[in-house]
A and B are shown apart, each in its own frame.
Chain A
């Protein structure tokens, strides 16, 4: 790790914090400056007068706006996000509990979609003009254009309700408990629950890596070093994997951040179709039941996940392509 690279990482971290701060500020403004009484946003109308006074004090709701803002920033930074009206539990606890489920589903889907998408894209580029391409490309496009919740509904109707191969909701059968995350991830019951949401998610995400990889491969395959490899009489498979695919991967990796951007939107929708207890479902439930502290907490954590995944994508890209100079980006 050179000095330039550590400086670049520091810059990216600073930018990350800036984005988080802007998001927190936007949330503050939305929740405080909305029409009507701002107290409504923070205090459960069913609380007793004493509880309400305590909350007014806790959030500093009687203070001037700028002081409220500073208090809010301090509370968010230290992880005090208030009390959920609906669950009567601390928001921080609720969002931390659901975070792993979101990470497993989104992270798993992004990885699988990228592996399958780039492999299929390379294959279609290699078999240019074959029947497989004529069917595969329109199918990939259609899967990308279809609303992900609708794909999920069809998978549910066919594989869960009609064939009964997979459960229709949740992460575990009733009464099932896991001793560790590893045990959960490897248990057949959990994987059966994960299968349909993951498949839906992968169908939603595969289009971009697939199409990008295909066009990138087509470009690379006309380059001199591939022609040279052919002339040397290297086996086709070796040319494909060692020469073409490796170089074609870079533009696909660049688009990774883009995929992460919309993967969290997809996550919110897919979690709701499959009643997957993650952050997206929590957010929708909170907004629907006007549980503002919870909505705020869930949103902040989703934003943090997005920003963190972007940072990881940047690091991975810099590692993949040594030509990328840290200092210049």
Chain B
């Protein structure tokens, strides 16, 4: 962390860009060199590809009840025709699984983005401004901490209507607090550093100091929490769908599990129906853990020896 502002004084814009480039470069190299983080990125990449190419990968329409001649293809075992078998009303499970990647990733990334952005902004503003702004924002975080998360999501989604975006919205409203807290702690340290001090002395506005000198340096912490939030969001969406408050027009992994649960798939032993969606959720959430592990090593180099 050199003081980027002095050498680039005549071109402030370039200094900002350089600070951000440096921060992103450091992140990129960690992700490339940590095997766990690389594995996490690979898992994400595969699921993103599946989500994008769903219409080409899935052999059937996920909502379609498949009929052959006069026979409804209900509760078929896995086989060549139906890779993972069919549901009790004759829908192809594999196709549902493929399409299910779409809402999961949409919610995961959208919610993680909102949570991280909101949390980082609150954390930086609170940490840098101090005083009553800090006190107010941190009391808000305390209150948000005391509200049970999933029950509130259920109540809000039930009122606002079942849609993916309402789940994203409620998550952003409640989960910013974790990111905000750690970012703030980091900012309190950064604020006293020489390069921030010199930027302030040279007359940089508070907004500029926060954007150019502080934000790039809290990026790793923010992204650590962001990569965990992806998993949280996907789990939350699945839980909400499982409880029956999901968006019924979209097939998601949580919806598949609810469908299997209420259709007595458990007592009929249709493992081919309810095991795969859970594995998909687990893999995506674990990918988030793996990536966050990579960031942890960047943040706390002491861990590397372990």
Contacts and interface: CB of A to CB of B under 8 A. Distances in A.
A149 B151 contact: no
Interface in B136-151: 142-143, 145-151
Interface of B: 142-143, 145-152, 154-156, 158-159, 231, 235, 238-239, 242-245, 254, 257, 260-261, 266-267, 269, 271, 274-275, 277-278, 281-283, 285-286, 289, 303, 306
Contacts of B306: 215, 218
Contacts of B159: 30, 34
Given A145-B289, A261-B149, A161 B242 contact: no
A131 interface: no
A147 B238 contact: yes
A257 B235 CA distance: 20
Contacts of A22: 143, 146-147
A150 B281 contact: yes
B155 A149 contact: no
Interface stretch (A81-89, A170-178, A183-191, A262-270): A262-270
A156 interface: yes
Contacts of B283: 145
The A interface, classified by DSSP as helix, strand, loop or mixed, is helix
A273 B285 contact: no
26 contacts: A18-B143, A19-B143, A26-B152, A141-B286, A145-B286, A146-B281, A147-B238, A147-B242, A149-B238, A149-B239, A149-B261, A150-B257, A153-B274, A218-B306, A261-B149, A264-B150, A265-B148, A268-B151, A268-B154, A272-B243, A283-B151, A287-B158, A299-B148, A299-B155, A302-B148, A306-B148
B269 A287 contact: no
Contacts of A147: 235, 238-239, 242, 254, 257, 278, 281-282
A150 B231 contact: no
A307 interface: yes
A39 interface: no
Contacts of B145: 257, 261
Interface string A236-271: 000000000000000000000100011011101100
B228 to A, nearest CB: 11
B146 A153 contact: no
Most buried by A among B243, B261, B281: B243
B148 A161 contact: no
Contacts of A264: 148, 150-151
A316 interface: no
A303 B151 CA distance: 9
Contacts of A146: 278, 281-282, 285
A83 B220 CA distance: 51
B148 A273 contact: no
A154 B231 contact: no
Given A142-B282, A299-B151, A153 B243 contact: no
Contact of B154 (A15, A16, A283): A283
Interface of A: 15-16, 18-20, 22-23, 26-27, 30, 34, 141-142, 144-151, 153-154, 156-157, 160-162, 168, 215, 218, 257, 261-262, 264-266, 268-269, 272-273, 280, 283-284, 287-288, 295, 299, 302-303, 306-307, 310
A303 B150 CA distance: 11
Contacts of A280: 151
Contacts of A272: 242-243
A145 B149 contact: no
Contacts of A283: 151, 154-155
A150 to B, nearest CB: 3
B285 A150 contact: no
Contacts of A148: 239
B99 to A, nearest CB: 18
B274 A150 contact: yes
Contact of B152 (A16, A144, A299): A299
| Minimum-distance CB pairs A-B, first 4 | A265-B150, A150-B278, A19-B146, A145-B285
A310 B142 CA distance: 12
Contacts of B154: 268, 283-284, 287
Nearest to A257: B145
Nearest to A148: B239
A265 B289 contact: no
A264 to B, nearest CB: 4
Contacts of B231: 145
